[in-house]
């Protein structure tokens, strides 16, 4: 479409509004600055070749491509508002002292209940005791210290990886428990659904690199 006149093309501001929809404010600013500089350079190049200003702007806008397709591309490379909000919730959940203590208490109660059931069914407890300690206590504890790190800032991708490992380990442990004591696994495996959210985000952050540059400036870590 390069060099094609598009008298009915939307203005650059409208194109940017569509292309940067759903992104965080820092991501929008960075993309807008890059596109505006690229657009201005393209317009200058076309006018230098004798193209009228209006036609040069239409041509430069056409060269940017479809705004909806650009929005999909930008969302694959930059953080969206929903993803930033999820990361902030994850930091607060993983790094709060009170939340962690309550989580330990609930995990301990759950483990005791299952160990009691295992004993009633004469099932071995050595494996679930070790695996349960890792799944319910070690991984969350590591996440706790990672999320509270301030210099450098928390490694969000590492936190997501820990959550993925937690979910996978939880699934294996639940299956093992269910097989040994003849329980239905459906209810216990409901908690496995976060992996379908965390794994794609973990992969995306690997492409983004510096996640903190796209986080809103008011993001804070709980103390």
The tens digit of pLDDT for each residue in 58-69 reads 889 999 999 999
Q: What is the largest CA-CA distance in the chain?
A: 88
- Whether the CB-CB separation of 157 and 108 falls below 8 Å is answered with no
Q: Position of tokens 């190049």?
A: 45
Residue that finishes a domain, picked among 37, 60, 77: 77
How high is the pLDDT of residue 191? 61
Lowest mean pLDDT among 37-51, 119-133, 135-149, 173-187: 173-187
Better-scored residue on pLDDT, 110 or 160: 160
Average pLDDT over residues 3-11: 45
135 located within any domain: yes
Q: Are 11 and 64 in contact (CB under 8 A)?
A: no
Residue after which a domain boundary falls, among 77, 111, 128: 77
Count CA atoms closer than 13 A to 27's CA, side-chain side.
26
Length in residues, the chain: 223
The residue range of the domain holding 104 is 81-214
Residues 99, 163: contact at Cβ < 8 Å? no
Establish if 223 belongs to a structural domain. no
Provide the 3-class DSSP secondary structure of residue 23.
strand
Q: What is the pTM of this model?
A: 0.74
Q: Quick check: 57 and 5 in contact, CB under 8 A? A: no
Can you tell me the distance from the alpha carbon of 63 to that of 97, in angstroms, rounded to the nearest whole number? 52
| Mean local confidence (pLDDT), 57-86 | 92
**Residue 136 or residue 22, greater confidence:** 22
Provide the 3-class DSSP secondary structure of residue 98: helix
Residue 219 belongs to a domain: no
Same domain, 71 and 36: yes
- Average pLDDT of the residues in 190-205: 81
């Amino acid at each position: 479409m390069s060099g094609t006149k598009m008298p009915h093309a939307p203005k650059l501001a409208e194109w940017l509004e569509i292309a940067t929809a759903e992104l965080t404010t820092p991501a929008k600013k960075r993309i807008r600055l890059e596109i505006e500089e690229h657009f201005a350079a393209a317009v200058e190049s076309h006018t230098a070749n004798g193209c009228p200003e209006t036609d040069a702007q239409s041509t430069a806008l056409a060269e940017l491509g479809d705004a909806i397709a650009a929005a999909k591309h930008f969302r694959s490379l930059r953080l969206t508002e929903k993803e930033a909000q999820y990361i902030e919730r994850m930091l607060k959940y993983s790094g709060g002292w009170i939340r962690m203590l309550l989580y330990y208490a609930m995990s301990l109660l759950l483990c005791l209940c299952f160990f009691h059931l295992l004993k009633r069914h004469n099932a071995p407890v050595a494996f679930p005791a070790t695996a349960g300690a890792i799944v319910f206590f070690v991984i969350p504890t590591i996440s706790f210290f990672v999320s509270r790190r301030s210099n450098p800032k928390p490694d969000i991708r590492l936190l997501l990886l820990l959550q993925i490992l937690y979910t996978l380990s939880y699934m294996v442990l639940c299956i093992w428990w269910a097989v040994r004591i003849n329980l239905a696994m459906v209810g216990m495996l409901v908690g496995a659904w976060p992996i379908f959210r965390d794994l794609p985000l973990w992969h995306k952050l690997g492409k983004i690199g510096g996640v903190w540059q796209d986080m809103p400036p008011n993001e804070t870590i709980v103390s």
